[in-house]
Amino acid sequence: MSLVTKPGTRYRSAVDQTEIIVVKPAKGPIDLRCGGHPVVAIGTEAPTGLTLDPAFSAGTPLGKRFADTDTGLELLCTKGGTGSLSIGEVILAQKDAKPLPSSD
């Protein structure tokens, strides 16, 4: 299943609590998954009967960003969960925070 991502679009995991928002879209359609299964758009029903794939269960922490250099995709986790984000089978890397000096 492939998705065309748009900035601001929100998705949730089909198998755990994870919710994400697209910060930067991927260049083309991607097979975005969480916990080993395709994510679903917020507000739509998830397919039933799926379970968390142990290979994709390292967790997605709240407030962390995830990025994929190949596609340019960048995501922000808005609700933490036990599943890991991946494009296909490739787990997405957590982006290093480069905090700026606090200006306000």
Partner 1 sequence: MHLGMLLEMAADGMADRVALGPLASGLTFAELASRARRLGAALEARPGERVGLIDLNSPAVPLTLFGSAIAGKPFVPINYRLADPQLRAIVARTAPATIIVGEGVVERVGPVDGVEFLSRAEALALAEDPEGKEKDGWGGDADEIAVLLFTSGTTGEPKAAVLRHSNLTEYIISTVEFAGSAEDEAAIVSVPPYHIAGISAVLSSTYSGRRVVQLEAFDPVAWVHIVRQESITHAMVVPTMLGRILDIVEKDGKGLPSLRSLSYGGGPMPLPVIERAVGLLPNVGFVNAYGLTETSSTIAVLGPDDHQAAFASDDPAVRARLASVGKPLPTLEVSIRDAAGVEVPTGERGEISVRGGQVSGEYLGRGTTLDSDGWFPTRDEGHLDEAGYLFVHGRLDDVIVRGGENLSPGEIEAVLLEHPSVLEAAVVGIPNKEWGEQVVAAVVTSGGVTEEDLKAHVRSRLRSSRTPDHIQFREELPFNESGKLLRRVLRTELSEAFT
The residue among 47 and 63 lying less far from partner 1, judged by its C-beta, is 63
Q: Is 79 in the site for partner 1 (CB under 8 A)?
A: yes
Answer for which of 21, 46, 50, 67 binds partner 1 (CB under 8 A) is: 21
From the CB of 76, what's the least distance to partner 1, in Å?
A: 6
Binding to partner 1, residues 24-53 (CB under 8 A): none
Q: Is 63 in the site for partner 1 (CB under 8 A)?
A: yes
Q: Is 78 exposed, middle or buried (0-12, 13-18, 19+ CB in 10 A)?
A: middle
